[in-house]
Amino acid sequence: MQAVILAAGLGTRMKDLTASTPKPLLKIGEKTLLEYKLENLPGEINEVILVVGYLGDQIKATFGERHLGKKITYVEQKELKGTGHALSLCKPFLRGRFLILMGDDLYAKEDLQKLISYPLSVLGCELPEDILGGKRAEIKVDREGNMIAIDERAEAKRGMLENAAAYVLDESYFDYPLQLADPTSREFGLPQTMAQMVEDGKAVRVVRATWWKKIACPEDLRF
């Protein structure tokens, strides 16, 4: 099975830390974010497709063509047109089902293992009680535990299931046209494109995360 890791972003919210280092190579302790991610991949993953962009040569130099016994294939996203566009660049290299992860988020290995046990799936994380206010990407779930939709601009509330941006999809994803992340955006969103699969009757299982860490600012590297 293959995994796609989207690691092309500029990391501007990390301020000076990404002036000369791509965000996936920032460290927590002695390891980079990307090392943690590669170590937590399920054993079934035998190839990783890394979508690189900003300072991508540093990522290539660090991990080479193999890491931890897994083949690494690099795809360059020259224009940052969103996660949907980034995944579309990988189409020539993908076969069957594949796992998709964001390059700067950290996930629990057991959650990813459960995620790949379903034909199609998405990872959601329940908001803690002390998180209120602001906008979050909410996954709406039916009684069977499958995704109904993702509302990217939902008002944060206790118990909301937030999109943790980890997915299992298959090649049928590429049968659907790319969709803008929102009407005012110039970027194509992976969730918005995936939503067409749900509308078409495909069952996308929602897996509840036991742990998820979004690295959005310098303070998030200290925990």
Residues 69-95: tens digit of each pLDDT: 999 999 999 999 999 999 999 999 999
Q: Report whether 100 contacts 87 (CB < 8 A).
A: yes
Query: Facing residues of 138 across strands?
Result: 151, 162
Alpha-carbon gap, residue 169 to 160, rounded angstroms: 23
DSSP letter, residue 176: S
Q: What is the mean pLDDT of residues 30-40?
A: 94
- Token pair, residue 48, equals 């990783």
Note the pTM of the prediction, 2 decimals.
0.95
H/E element, 213: strand 212-214
Range of the domain at 18: 2-221
pLDDT at 108 over 80: yes
CATH for 143: 3.90.550.10
Alpha-carbon gap, residue 91 to 98, rounded angstroms: 11
Say how many domains are in the chain. Answer: 1
DSSP string, 92-126: GG--SEEEEEETTEEE-HHHHHHHTTSSSEEEEEE
pLDDT tens, residue by residue, 117-162: 999 999 999 987 656 567 889 999 999 999 999 998 888 888 889 9
- As to burial, measured by CB atoms within 10 angstroms (0-12 exposed, 13-18 middle, 19+ buried), residue 204 is buried
Q: Can you give the pLDDT at residue 134?
A: 77
Helix, strand and coil in the chain, % to nearest 5: 25, 35, 40
